[in-house]
Structure 1
Amino acid sequence: MSLGQQLAPHLPFLRRYARALTGSQNHGDAYVRAALEAIVDAPDQFPRDVDPRLGLYRTFQAIWSSANLDEQDLVESRGPDVPEAIAQARLAAVTPRSRQALLLTSMEGFSNEDAAYLIETTPGEVESLVGEALAEIERQTRADVLIIEDEPIIAMDIETIVRDLGHDVTGVAVTRDEAVAQARARRPGLVLADIQLADDSSGIDAVKDILSEFSVPVIFITAFPERLLTGERPEPTFLITKPFQRSTVKAAIAQALFFDAATVPA
């Protein structure tokens, strides 16, 4: 099997990680493309002594680190509407290294040992970085959350996670029309949306309707993430895979709110 064939199944999830890390589909996908170009240009430098997925993420990490992303890069990735001071204040409090450790373990499912390999540190330091990132991001970000989910047990679990993080839940909608109505009645600061809803309507369409009226960060929840991580069209920046771990939801919420100017503390 060629190297390309070995890496292909892991590319959607690398896009998920890159988008969550940068807060932007375009910016995240650009880093993924740069990593792939580096592999094509120098295939002999690809790590062959580890699992292909680890090698792929390690190559991405090298590209990310060498780019030396700073506060201005973050602002540019999100466009001119995001105040530079917000990005600078948050990045000063939560380092990219901490956020990498959090996303690698909680969202991408790497062990502390594998995450340590990826960011070139020790497993103990990874554990410390994850705790640091969660504590600081959760302290800084509070929001009213709209949950769009038609499975009662899943909706209850998400609601519990959201409230445990200190957020308020504006409502739980099970259809497209209900979601839009609830968003209009009480504007949320974050939307958590399933893809397939109770009346065969689409969570994606519900979100489009909501976003046509105002801007709000969105996290999609789906059993088929590969369908929304192709890099070929406008796609979600934040995506959670079903079945999910509570830590994954927490990490996604923290990261989505991290990049949202509306939640900056007073």
Structure 2
Amino acid sequence: MSEQGQPLGLAEQVGSVLPYLRRYARALTGSQRSGDAFAAATLEALLSDRSIFDGASSPRVALFRAFHAIWTSAGTPVAEEDSEIARRAQSHMASLTPNSREVLLMAVIEGFTLEEVAEVIDASPSEAQELLSAARKEMESSVTGRVLIIEDEAIIALDLQSIVADMGHAITGVARTRDGAVQLAKQEKPDLILSDIQLADNSSGIDAVNDILRDFGDIPVIFITAFPERLLTGDRPEPAFVITKPYSEEQVQSAISQAMFFSSTETLGV
């Protein structure tokens, strides 16, 4: 509904879903460039064939269903200009059960019901459930590593530490400020950064992450924010993984497992 209480038109409905489709696409590819390319191809398909919306339970399901059709038919390529993380991701994904990661992302990160997921991938809810279970097993057992947490709220920081530790990952430290985060990263290079955006001294988690990446290159990053749309604007750089506050433990576990899976190399503590 619009602010005036009137039903949204199709363009407005698609526009409201698009940032989250882009988030989903980047999580699949590990790359902003490739993810946005798939999202753009989806929009082009919608413009040329509005019947994609016919019979769909919602515009969101229709948009993701169109994306899925393009994604599966394209063989999930990654452009040569993309990052090493993106290239490694495609190699790792070849070992996964087909459609399992897609189901995991839609169900856990994007909040689709199993019925909606089944509609997107053209399967039954029971088949979607089987794929979800397979994805959890395959992702969680893939790799462990070192995690830097950037979070100024003590209760949330403790909660994230508990989730990370329970998954078997080592915690390099918890930073409350930009300078503190950079200092911790210099003391021990993390394999993954889990970061809030607004920090204790009004410094930026985004700036902290950019400082760290400037020193160390490709490190997967998960941002946790109450305003995900502020990170999904199409401007570079954008994170591949964005979790919305308030988050669930399962969302954090899923994002960490996938980020670790994407970046797993001989440098991680496998």
Cα pair 2:222 2:239 within 8 Å, conserved: yes
Alignment-derived partner of residue 247 in structure 2: 244
Q: Distance in 1 between matches of 2:15 and 2:164?
A: 34
- Displacement of 1:208 in angstroms is 0.9
Alignment-derived partner of residue 171 in structure 1: 173
Instruction: State the SS of the aligned residue for 2:105.
Output: helix
Residue 185 (str. 1) matches residue 187 (str. 2): yes
TM-score by structure 2 length? Answer: 0.90
Unaligned residue ranges in structure 2 (runs of 5+):
1-7
- Displacement of 1:250 in angstroms is 1.2
- Displacement of 1:248 in angstroms is 1.0
Q: Distance in 2 between matches of 1:27 and 1:212?
A: 22
Percent identity over the alignment is 51
Summarize the Cα distance change of 1:11–1:170 in structure 2 as closer, same or farther, 3 Å threshold.
same
Summarize the Cα distance change of 1:86–1:242 in structure 2 as closer, same or farther, 3 Å threshold.
closer
TM-score by structure 1 length? Answer: 0.91
Alignment-derived partner of residue 204 in structure 1: 206
Farther-moved stretch of structure 1 (2-11 vs 91-100): 91-100
Summarize the Cα distance change of 1:127–1:45 in structure 2 as closer, same or farther, 3 Å threshold.
closer
Q: How does 1:1-266 map to 2 (within 5 A)?
A: 1-69=8-76, 73-74=77-78, 76=80, 78-79=82-83, 81=84, 87-88=90-91, 90-215=92-217, 216-262=219-265
- Displacement of 1:234 in angstroms is 2.4
Summarize the Cα distance change of 1:83–1:130 in structure 2 as closer, same or farther, 3 Å threshold.
closer
Unaligned residue ranges in structure 1 (runs of 5+):
none
Q: Distance in 2 between matches of 1:237 and 1:255?
A: 10
- Displacement of 1:91 in angstroms is 2.6
Q: Distance in 1 between matches of 2:257 and 2:88?
A: 19
Summarize the Cα distance change of 1:147–1:140 in structure 2 as closer, same or farther, 3 Å threshold.
same
Amino acid at match of 2:126: G
Cα pair 1:228 1:235 within 8 Å, conserved: yes
* CA distances 1:209-264 after superposition (whole Å, capped 9, x unpaired): 11111031111111111111122432111111111111111111112122214366
Farther-moved stretch of structure 1 (54-63 vs 228-237): 228-237
Q: What RMSD, in angstroms, separates the aligned Cα atoms of the two structures?
A: 2.1
Q: Distance in 2 between matches of 1:47 and 1:148?
A: 44
Summarize the Cα distance change of 1:75–1:144 in structure 2 as closer, same or farther, 3 Å threshold.
farther
Summarize the Cα distance change of 1:264–1:177 in structure 2 as closer, same or farther, 3 Å threshold.
closer
Summarize the Cα distance change of 1:96–1:257 in structure 2 as closer, same or farther, 3 Å threshold.
farther
Summarize the Cα distance change of 1:177–1:106 in structure 2 as closer, same or farther, 3 Å threshold.
same
- Displacement of 1:110 in angstroms is 0.6
Alignment-derived partner of residue 4 in structure 2: none
Summarize the Cα distance change of 1:224–1:86 in structure 2 as closer, same or farther, 3 Å threshold.
closer
Cα pair 2:21 2:64 within 8 Å, conserved: yes
* CA distances 1:57-87 after superposition (whole Å, capped 9, x unpaired): 1111111122122xxx2484744x4697884
Summarize the Cα distance change of 1:75–1:95 in structure 2 as closer, same or farther, 3 Å threshold.
farther
Q: Distance in 2 between matches of 1:165 and 1:192?
A: 14
Farther-moved stretch of structure 1 (28-37 vs 231-240): 231-240
Q: Distance in 2 between matches of 1:84 and 1:23?
A: 8
Amino acid at match of 1:258: F
Amino acid at match of 1:194: D
Q: Distance in 1 between matches of 2:59 and 2:18?
A: 11
